[in-house]
Structure 1
Amino acid sequence: MKKQQWQGWGPGEQPEQHHLVQPRSLAGGGDVRHVSEFLRASGWRDKSKTGGPMLMESPDRTVRVAYDPYVLPGGWTIHGKADGPNGEWSAHLGRQTPVEIVAGLTDALHRPRSAHAPNIWAPLQEQDWHTRVEGDDYTATSPDGTAWMQYRQGADGSAMWWTGARDTQGNGWTADFTPNTPMHLVQAFSTELAGPDPVMRPRGRVPHSTQIRTWSVSVKPSQLRAWQQARIAAARAATWACNSARSTRPRTSARPSTPAGGARTRR
């Protein structure tokens, strides 16, 4: 038996059936490890309890990413503490939000911000999404009409981003971002939301929807592991580069000098 298992993971391993799904916004939730393993490789702490919801905490303890499938409606919560001039913020994403789209936001949590001002609408316009203005609301809709991104402004002047995807059978998800959510994170999310590339789901995990297109592909377990490891390696490399840049950054102020042979006075 052991010999057969070993051969199954070696050169003679058997391919498994998967499906490429398009549009990605209707592909279903997917494997949450796509998000959690990337964060772990980026130095985040796993605060999850055994058998409970997933909970990841940033190295500086200012941001938490949680996924809870055990409550209704369940799904993702990304919460950021107030930081100087930036207020507390949060994003709530439904359980069926594809992990590839969730990762658009969570991957960007540890990447350096661009010097350019964020533009949430640019990735959508590049993929020919339709835009319209209704009062104080600005909405972009995918060409097939299944996904949307909306900017809402309340009577008190507060702004909120509301987005999601839904097919004609009612299957789908919604997400919202509070007013203080950093705009570069919302743009990273919208980029993945509008991404034209299909995403992969294993057999039996493809939603039953008349508005998706699927292609059957054969994938070996070793190929899946290689793709996962490449993503993890990229996270580790980016984290190492960021930490190295911080450690080599010149000091902006000089340390107080201590006379030779003298002792520092404690207060």
Structure 2
Amino acid sequence: MPPDDDLRAIHGDVNVSPRYLARTTGIGDPALAPLLDLGWNLEHDDLGNAYLNAPDRTVRLGYLPEGEDDGLWRINAYRDSFGPPTWGACFNDSTPTEFVRAFTTTLAQAYERGPDAYLARPIAGSDDRDPFQAVAPLINRGWQIDRPRWGVFAIQSPDGLVALEHTTGHLDREAELTTRDARWQLWAGTSIDHPYWYATASTDTPVELLRAVTECVSDPTPVPRWRQDTYSYVEGKAHLISILPPSPPAPTPLDVHRAAFRRPAVLPATSVPRWSSTSRPAHRGPHP
């Protein structure tokens, strides 16, 4: 997350745990910042949607609060800037902003390393590009493999409120980019048909980007939100912990000594006249 004194920082008056029940902050800046910091070009349309383009046009991001569906964030990458996308990812309008930022931060780092990084296709059995690497953070944090379904690998959180699914076999590439029928789907809730939020990633999305999201989703650290912006489904499922202003540190003996040493001598109040632009001159009595 950005530092507290950064205007892009995410603030709140409660911490929400687990973080995957926090939903969106409603602010796009934190997730746009990693790419804007690289000098990517930002444009807006008349409706208030934002479009971010890499200098070489090989990666495009749309932040679409006024889009045609609930896909708030759409990120596509291209080997040929005039050809179809090589891969695409989507985060809907309720996805916690921290998860999108994790994705864009890692994308920015990969973009700086060059096309071989941000266009790297998953390769089964590879040390760093095996699809299993995207699932490893979840297994390491106690997530459980869900009951098997034909052609789908699924793993869910211990409370059963968020799951990651990986579909095997052939998929329609265009449908992967425009629907939830994608290679990867991450969703929260009690029903996949009516999730609290969801994110998808198509075939060939680099494992490094997927792992950044699963690392962030499974992080046990709570995230801040404004209490009035939490949703009814959170009640009874998430912990809301008040964020209190930090107490000033207790003074050390050295602090006490320094304060006493620097304290000026106390003078009678009448010995220090206090003047202002509105003060009247002191009244002088008659001379003896």
Q: Does 1:138 align with 2:159?
A: no
Query: Deviations along 1:202-227, whole A, 9 cap, x unmatched?
Result: 2422222221111111459xxxxxxx
Deviations 1:217-239 (A, max 9, x none): 1459xxxxxxxxxxxxxxxxxxx
Q: Distance in 1 between matches of 2:171 and 2:241?
A: 47
* Counterpart residue number, 1:196: 220
State how 1:68-87 maps to structure 2 within 5 Å: 68-71=64-67, 72-82=69-79
Q: What secondary structure sits across from 1:21 in the alignment?
A: strand
**Structure 1 residues 184 and 44, CA gap change in structure 2 (3 angstroms):** same
SS of the aligned residue for 1:120 comes to helix
State the TM-score, normalizing by the size of structure 2.
0.63
1:151 to 166, 170, 194: 166
Q: Which amino acid aligns with 1:137?
A: V
CA distance in 1, matches of 2:80, 2:105: 19
Structure 1 vs Structure 2 CA RMSD: 2.9
- Say whether the 8 Å CA contact 2:16–2:224 is kept in structure 1: yes
SS at match of 2:134: coil
Which residue, 148, 165, 170 being the options, matches 2:188? 165
Structure with the larger strand share: 1
What pairs up with 1:98-137 in 2 under 5 angstroms?
Answer: 98-112=96-110, 116-118=127-129, 119-132=133-146, 133-137=148-152
Q: Which residue of the other structure, out of 21, 27, 33, is the alignment partner of 2:22? A: 27
Q: Secondary structure at the match of 1:25?
A: helix
Between the aligned partners of 2:171 and 2:39, the Cα distance in structure 1 is: 39
Distance 1:134 1:171 in 2: 19
Which of 21, 43, 46 is equivalent to 2:42? 46
What residue in structure 2 maps to residue 97 of structure 1?
A: 95
Counterpart of 2:74, as a letter, is T
Q: Deviations over 1:51-94 (max 9, x none)?
A: 5112211233211111212233241101111269x961111111
Q: Deviations over 1:81-126 (max 9, x none)?
A: 1269x96111111110111011111111121459951401111011
- 2:204 is the alignment partner of 1:175: no
Q: Tell me the distance in 2 between the aligned counterparts of 1:156 and 1:55.
A: 28
Instruction: Report how far residue 142 of structure 1 moved.
Output: 0.5
The alpha-carbon deviation at position 49 of structure 1 amounts to 3.1
Query: SS where residue 121 of structure 1 aligns?
Result: helix
- Structure 1's unaligned 5+ residue stretches are 1-8, 10-15, 221-267
What CA distance in whole angstroms lies between the structure 2 residues aligned with 1:59 and 1:206?
37
1:215 partner letter: I
What is the total number of aligned residue pairs between the two structures?
204
In the aligned structure 1, how far is the partner of 2:238 from the partner of 2:74? 27
Which has the higher mean CA deviation after the structures are superposed, 17-26 or 105-114? 105-114
Corresponding position of 2:242: 216
Alpha-carbon distance in 2 for matches of 1:40, 1:50: 21
Match of 2:62 among 46, 66, 89: 66
1: CA distance, partners of 2:172 / 2:151: 10
**Which consecutive segments of 4 or more residues in structure 1 shift more than 6 A?**
none
Say whether residues 1:206 and 2:221 are aligned partners: no
Contact kept in structure 2, 1:17 and 1:218, CA below 8 Å: no
Q: Which runs of 5+ in 2 are unaligned?
A: 6-10, 111-116, 121-125, 174-181, 247-288
Q: Distance in 1 between matches of 2:51 and 2:140?
A: 34
Largest Rg, 1 or 2: 2
Contact 1:87 1:180 in 2 (8 A): no
Structure 2 Cα separation of the partners of residues 206 and 23 of structure 1: 13
- Say which structure, 1 or 2, has more relative contact order (CA 8 Å, 6+ apart): 1
- Percent identity over the alignment is 26
**One-letter amino acid of the counterpart of residue 163, structure 1:** L
TM-score of the pair, normalised by structure 1 = 0.67
